[in-house]
Structure formats: C-alpha cells, structure tokens
Amino acid sequence: MASKGNKYKSKNIIDSFKHAFDGLAYSFKKTKNLLVDVVFAVLVITAGFVFKVSLIEWAVLLLCIALVMSLEMVNTALEEAVNLAMPNLHPIAKISKDVSAGAVLFSAIISVVIGLIIFMPKFIGLF
C-alpha cells in the first residue's frame, strides 16, 4: 500500500508495471551502451540457434544477457541519481559512477568468457 507522503510510490501493481516499462523505454532511448548490449545479445541468440545449444546453455546465455543489460540499467540509474545529487565534480561521485560502470564491465567480461566456453567447442567442431 502506498504511503500518503510519497508521490513517487506506485499506488497499485498496474502503476508499478507502467513505471517499470517507462524505465525500460528510457534506458533503450538514452543509453547507447544498452543498444550495444542488444546488438551482442542478438548475435549470441542467433549463434545459439545456429549451433543448436542445449537448454542449459540457453539458460546460461540468457542469464548472462539479462545480467549485463540489467546492470547497464542500474548503472544508468545510479549515474542519473549521482548527477542530480552532485552536479559538480566530486571525487566520491566519481568513485560511485566508476564502480557502477566497473560492475557492468566485469559482468560483460565474464559473459564473454562464458560465451567462449559454450561456443568455441561448437565452432571448432565445424573444422
């Protein structure tokens, strides 16, 4: 149930979903890195069909895609909040933004490694 004093709190589940979809739409419109993530996700999904990955491999690949894209959106939210709270350059604001971006990078690197583990044997098997 929404508190009376918080105009940003959703009043019901429909409003919650609307706000979530608004956040997705904002992310896709304003976050260029998320568009890069989408391109790589499409490539990975295409490769999954081409190489006929197993159900477990699909689950792992989709979790990696979801992790990277979700962290990208969390990074965007954190950066926007830091920009609002700290419009002037501040060393702690920089640390917050850098660590958040680092989390995205780390998840992307691990996802690439997982992709290589899944796809390299299939690719090598072609020759």
In order of their start, the domains of the chain are: 13-124 (1.10.287.3610)
Rounded CA-CA distance 69/63 in Å is 10
Q: What does R_g of the chain's alpha carbons equal in angstroms?
A: 19
Q: What tokens were used for 96?
A: 């917050």
What pLDDT is recorded for position 5? 58
What pLDDT is recorded for position 2? 47
Contact criterion met (CB below 8 Å) for 66 and 45? no
Report whether pLDDT(107) > 50.
yes
- What percent of the residues of the chain are helix, what percent strand, and what percent coil, each to the nearest 5? 80, 0, 20
pLDDT confidence band for 71 (50 / 70 / 90):
very high
* Catalytic entry in 57, 72, 79, 80: 72
Rounded CA-CA distance 39/47 in Å is 12
Assess whether 72 carries a catalytic annotation: yes
Contact criterion met (CB below 8 Å) for 96 and 78? yes
Report whether pLDDT(38) > 60.
yes
What pLDDT is recorded for position 121? 95
What pLDDT is recorded for position 119? 97
